[in-house]
Structure 1
């Protein structure tokens, strides 16, 4: 049975923060406000387990099975946030994150990607981002281009990830720091132009998001007024 309380217009937690972009300390309150009593109790237990002394269930840490339960216990719409909170409470290191990612479902893998900016300060987990970008799962691709990917992907891989979003239909709004990284990137502009030409030559529509990204690659005029009056 899924335990979650549907939002109401008066609910202050109707729009909880994105789990990759919101500090876990600020994520828990809005999440628990949206859960019913059984789900809140389950989450509290799971977080206590994760924060406690290390334990094992066979080869797994005691908290790892809770990641698989999160969707059933908290509702699928809240599972990402619950999983990120559990990973954060457990202070999961790169080895644990790698294990959860490799052994988990697509939903658990996405939660690992969301948790990376909270748990891994350097590029040690970049291989997980790169793995997600090789998949055809658009939700994993979007999660891979969150704050951690924005911080650590090199320009070559990042440009190709942007193109992958365009041809798989991932909205470019999902790409963290798109404006900053695309700004003045003439190589990205060249790649976008080539992709647009290929689509046009094949009689296929050019994704509208392509023009948005292309505009971001152009440096603003020296007077700082922007690109043709558009915000960047």
Structure 2
């Protein structure tokens, strides 16, 4: 740190930024640090903080959701029907539960889905080198595959095999795509770049479907002693 004289400045206008020292006697490296006040306004009414380019917003999903929910509560409290909305929420049992910020281990269900996605994606891609566009295309198609998974049957009629999927919550209907020929058993050297992506997608769908369908099977624990079934 050194002092710069006014004669050393090539500019005709000199701007001074307010600052103050912060002393930490126990430090073994830098005992005095200079802290600049970037919020100090100039004669134009603007500060250095106002004209600097802002960086990325460092926030988590839960913190953003908490902010939106608090804003929604303040908006609801301002309307005349606040009491009816509160009574409806209490009657229907609507209650928001937020997890702590930066705590992904609290997100059991959807983190398990992310783990399954990464598990099968690594085994499908292997050492394949994809461009950004190819990787984005593959991830988008896999996203459509995962959002088409069955959650619960919409009808007990066996002639109406339709299920509720996450895509119903996202776009209100099933996600459909143009059928592609089966390329799993085709030699990879005979495929184009696009066909290789479709082959990886089909391999992922096959592996992930087998893993997901086994999780849907209910395995009830035997709690009652019964006799074995004999032919």
TM-score w.r.t. length of structure 2: 0.20
Higher strand share: 2
Relative contact order (C-alpha < 8 Å, sep 6+): which is higher? Answer: 1
Query: If the length of structure 1 is used for normalisation, what is the TM-score?
Result: 0.19
Query: Greater helix share, 1 or 2?
Result: 1
